Chain A
C-alpha cells in the first residue's frame, strides 16, 4: 500500500530521478517506479501515468536506450539503460537542480 504521507513526484524532476535510477543499473519501467519509492523511503510515489511517457521522451532524446530482456522470474521485460549522452545529461540536470534548490532555499530562509 502507498504511504499516506507520500507525495507525487514534482513535475520536471521525474526525468532526473529516472536518469539517476538508471545510472545505478539498467531497469524495466515497473522496477524504476519501485526503486524511486525505495530510495525515497516510500516518501515519493511515481505517478504511473507519467512514467512511460517520460521514458519515451528520454528515449527519443537519445539519453536512454531500451532492449528486451528477461527478469529473474523469467518474464520478458523492456530494460532501459543510460546512454553516454544520458549520463552527461544527468550530470548537467543534477547540477542545475542543486543550483535551483539552493536558490529556493536561500529565498525561503531570507528574513
Chain B
C-alpha cells in the first residue's frame, strides 16, 4: 500500500500535535471520555446478550486490552517528536539544578554576565547597522550619491551637490522617482528664540521632503514650498524650549538671521534620516545664501522615493547616466552616481563603525566564552561527583544517549536561566549606554538601543549554541561507562584522571581568553592616553575654541565680516588670562574638513595631491603650538593684496617635492592660482585622530574670506572664564550671531576620541570580568583537585613530605595551567591586536610593555587563586587521610 505523506499532511499533523501540547489537559479529558464511552457501549452490548453487568464490564475491559496501555499509546501519539522529550529533560535539568541552588545561581549569573555583555553590544550593532530607519516604506527611499572630484564637500548625508544640480535630477528622473526631495543637515544653526539665541542642528530641505519621507506632523502642518519663510520643530525642541505649548504655531523665530513662522511639530522620535538628530526643519530658501533674485545655491543631497514597480537597479542606472549628462559646476568633475539606501550611519562610516563594533562584539564574545568554559568546568566536576549515580543508571540499562541528554539538559537549563538574566542585564546595559553623557556641544543623537526581536533572537541563539557546545563535553565525559571502578565505593584516587585533564583544559582556555581580552583592552586604554599626547602636531592643553558663524552675506558682507572678526579677536586678546588668540576656519580634529586637489603649476607631470586646508589668522600657529619646521608661519604681513602665500605640512611637501625643502615654490588649488610656500610644518592630525597622514595647507584668512571661523585662545588656567567672555563679546557685538562648536580643545578632541574612550571603558569592564572568571576557574579546579586527593596527600604527609612540598605541588599545577593559557593567549592577543591596529593610535599593536605586563598580571592572579587550595592541601594531616575510608 502506498503511504505517501505529503508536506501538507506532515504539517497538519505537526499543528495538531502542537495544539495538543498546549491543550494537554483538555485533550486528556477528551481521551478519557472517549475511551469510557467505548467501554460503556461494549458493556451494554454484552449485557444485552445476557451477561450480568459486572461480568460484561470485565470482558469489555479485557477486549479493550488495558485502558492504561491505551492511554499511554494515545498520549505518545500526541507528542511532538522532538520538543516534548526535550521539555521533559529540561524539567529534569531545572529540578537537579534546584538541588544546589547556591552553586546554580552563581553559575547562572556567570553566564548572565557573558550573555549580557554580548547582547548589549549586539543591540548597538542592531541599532546602528542592521535596523532600517523607522519610516513608512523605507525600502523605497534612496539617496543619490555622486562620485565627485575637485573642490568638493561632504555632509553627514553624503556628498553635497548644488541645488540647481538637484533640480536637474528632479526634472529628468521623474520616471524612476515618485518624488525626489533634497536635504542638508547643518550642525549649527542659529535659532533665535524670545529668550535667547541658541545653536541647534537644523535641516534645510526642499518643499516635498516630508511628503517623500511619509512623515506626518503631530501638530499643525509641514511646509510645501522650497522658499516659504516657515519652519517645523522637532518634538524634542518643542518639548524643551516651548514646554509642548500648542500655541507655538504661528510664532516667529529666527533661523540663521531670517524670520520664519513655526507651522508644525514633527512626531516624537523623528530626527531626519541621519544619526545626528535634526531639531528644526526649514525650506532651503531659508538656509540658502540669497543674492537678491538669484536662485538658492545651498548645497544639498537628493533623497528620493522610488516609483512603485521600479527596480533599484534600473533606477541606479538611470541616475548614473544622468550624473554624466548634467554638466557639473566649475572645478568639479562627476565620474558617476549611485543610489544608496539611507541608513542611521552614513555609508562611509559603516565600514569603520562595523569594524569597531565588531571588535567590541568579539570581546564580549570572549567574555561569554570564558563564562561558558567556567560553567563547563563546574558541570564536569558535578558529573564527576555524581558518577556513582550515573553508573547505577547505566548499569540498570539506561542508554548512554539518555544519560547524555539528561546531563546536557542540566547545562541547557542553566544557560536558559543565565540567558534570561543576561537579557535583563542587556536591558540595563543599553539603558546605561543611551544615557552616556555626550559632551555638551555635541549634536543630539537619536538612537533607539532598546533590544528588539532581532536582539532577543540573537541572545537566544547565542545562549543555546554556547550551552550545547559547552554542555556536551562534560556530559559525554561523565557518561563514559567505566562502571566497575565507579560502582566501588571510596576509590576516588584514580578515576576521572582524564576528567581532571579535560577540566584543566577548560581552565587553560579561560586563561588564554582572558589574556587575549586583557591585551586588547590594555592596548586600547594606552592608545587613548597616547592619542591625546602624541602625533596631534599641536598642544591642546590650555586652549579654548569657539566657532562663530555670521550666516548669509545679506547680514554680513566680506568687509563687515572681517571687521566683526577683527573686533572680536581684539577684545578676546584683551581678556585677562588670555596669552594669545587666533582664528581658524575649522577646529582641528573635530571631524570636519574640506579638501581640494593641489598641484605644482611648474611641474605638470607631478601628480596632483588631494589636501585638506584651513584659513588662519596671524598668531594662530603660536596659539596652537604648531611648530613651523622651515620658513615662517602666517603673519601680519599677509594681508589682502599682498602676494598669496601658503604654509604646507610635511606630508604635502614630501609628495609634491620629494627630498626638497619647497620654500619659495608655488602651489595651485583651493581656488588660488599661485600661492608661494613660505613655511613647512610637521604632519599632525587634522580631521580625525585615527586618520592616515594627511596633506594639509594653511592659507591666510586675510586673503581668503569665509563667513564662519573658530576663535582659538590660549588661556591656561582661565579656560572657563575665557569661553564665557567670548560668548559675552559675541552677544554684545551682535545678539543674532550664535556660537557653534565650542569648548576647551582637549574636550573637543575628546569628542573625536569618544568612541575609543567609550570602548576602553567597556573593554576594561570586560577584561576585569574575564580575569575574575579565569581566577575563579583556576581556584575551582585546584580546590576540587585537592579535595579529591585528600587521602593521597595524607599518605604523602605520613611518609614525610613537608608542608612546603605539598604547597609547591599544588601551586605548580595552577601555574602550569596558567602558563600554558598565557602562551596561547599571547598568540591570540597578537592576532587580535594586528586585526584592530587601524583603531590604535600612537601605540604599536605589539606594544612590548603591554605584552609583558598582562601575562605577569595573569600569572600573579593565578598564583593567588592557587594559594587557598594549596594551604588547604598542606593542612591535611596524616591521621585524617588514614581515617578517610
Q: Which of B2-10, B84-92, B368-376 contacts A (4 or more CB under 8 A)?
A: B2-10
| C-alpha spacing A93/B1, complex, angstroms | 7
Q: Contact at B16–A59, with CB atoms within 8 Å?
A: yes
Q: Contact at A56–B37, with CB atoms within 8 Å?
A: no
Which one, A30, A48, A93, A96, contacts B65 given CB within 8 A? A48
Q: Tell yes or no: A4 within 8 A of B by CB.
A: no
Q: Which residue of A lies closest to B4 (CB)?
A: A92
Q: Which residues of B contact A52 (CB under 8 A)?
A: 34-35, 38, 70, 73-74
| C-alpha spacing A53/B49, complex, angstroms | 28
Which one, B1, B42, B73, B74, contacts A96 given CB within 8 A? B1
Contacting A at CB under 8 A, from B436-457, are: none
Q: Tell yes or no: B435 within 8 A of A by CB.
A: no
Contacting A at CB under 8 A, from B12-48, are: 12-13, 16-17, 30, 33-35, 37-38, 40-42, 45
User: How many residues belonging to B are interface residues under a CB distance threshold of 8 Å?
Assistant: 30
Q: Contact at B69–A29, with CB atoms within 8 Å?
A: no
Known: A76-B37, A100-B1. A56 touches B74 (CB 8 A): yes
Q: Contact at B37–A78, with CB atoms within 8 Å?
A: yes
Known: A61-B9, A62-B13. A29 touches B38 (CB 8 A): yes
Q: Which residues of A contact B63 (CB under 8 A)?
A: 48
Known: A96-B2, A100-B1. A62 touches B9 (CB 8 A): yes
Q: Tell yes or no: B136 within 8 A of A by CB.
A: no
Contacting B at CB under 8 A, from A25-77, are: 28-30, 34, 47-49, 52-53, 56-57, 59-63, 75-77
Q: Tell yes or no: B77 within 8 A of A by CB.
A: yes
| Count of A-B residue pairs with CB < 8 Å | 71
Q: Which residues of B contact A107 (CB under 8 A)?
A: none
Which one, B16, B37, B49, contacts A77 given CB within 8 A? B37
Known: A30-B38, A52-B74. A61 touches B5 (CB 8 A): yes
Q: Tell yes or no: A1 within 8 A of B by CB.
A: yes
Q: Tell yes or no: B64 within 8 A of A by CB.
A: yes
Q: Tell yes or no: A12 within 8 A of B by CB.
A: yes
Chain A interface, DSSP helix/strand/loop, else mixed: helix
Q: Which residues of B contact A97 (CB under 8 A)?
A: 1
Which one, A30, A53, A57, A62, contacts B37 given CB within 8 A? A30
Q: Which residues of A contact B49 (CB under 8 A)?
A: 1
Known: A1-B49, A48-B65. A57 touches B12 (CB 8 A): no
Q: Tell yes or no: B797 within 8 A of A by CB.
A: no
Q: Contact at A61–B37, with CB atoms within 8 Å?
A: no
Distance from B756 Cβ to chain A, minimum over Cβ atoms (Å): 60
Q: Contact at A53–B77, with CB atoms within 8 Å?
A: yes
Q: Which residue of B lies closest to A100 (CB)?
A: B1
Which one, A29, A34, A100, contacts B34 given CB within 8 A? A29
Distance from A102 Cβ to chain B, minimum over Cβ atoms (Å): 13
Q: Contact at B12–A60, with CB atoms within 8 Å?
A: yes
| C-alpha spacing A30/B63, complex, angstroms | 12
Q: Contact at B34–A60, with CB atoms within 8 Å?
A: no
Q: Tell yes or no: B78 within 8 A of A by CB.
A: yes
Distance from B874 Cβ to chain A, minimum over Cβ atoms (Å): 66
| C-alpha spacing A76/B33, complex, angstroms | 9
Q: Which residue of A lies closest to B71 (CB)?
A: A52
| C-alpha spacing A59/B16, complex, angstroms | 8
Q: Contact at A56–B77, with CB atoms within 8 Å?
A: yes
| C-alpha spacing A74/B30, complex, angstroms | 17
| C-alpha spacing A97/B37, complex, angstroms | 32
Which one, A12, A28, A62, contacts B8 given CB within 8 A? A62
Q: Which residue of B lies closest to A97 (CB)?
A: B1
Q: Which residue of B lies closest to A28 (CB)?
A: B37
| C-alpha spacing A52/B37, complex, angstroms | 12
| C-alpha spacing A34/B46, complex, angstroms | 13
Which one, A12, A29, A60, A75, contacts B13 given CB within 8 A? A60
Distance from B36 Cβ to chain A, minimum over Cβ atoms (Å): 10
Cross-chain pairs A/B with CB under 8 angstroms, 14 sampled = A12-B1, A29-B34, A30-B37, A49-B65, A49-B69, A53-B73, A56-B74, A56-B78, A60-B77, A61-B13, A75-B37, A77-B34, A78-B30, A93-B2
| Cβ-closest 9 pairs across A and B | A49-B65, A62-B12, A60-B13, A30-B41, A30-B38, A61-B9, A60-B16, A78-B34, A56-B77
Q: A78-B37, A97-B1 are in contact. List 9 more A-B contacts (CB 8 A).
A: A29-B37, A48-B64, A49-B69, A52-B35, A53-B73, A53-B74, A57-B77, A62-B9, A63-B9
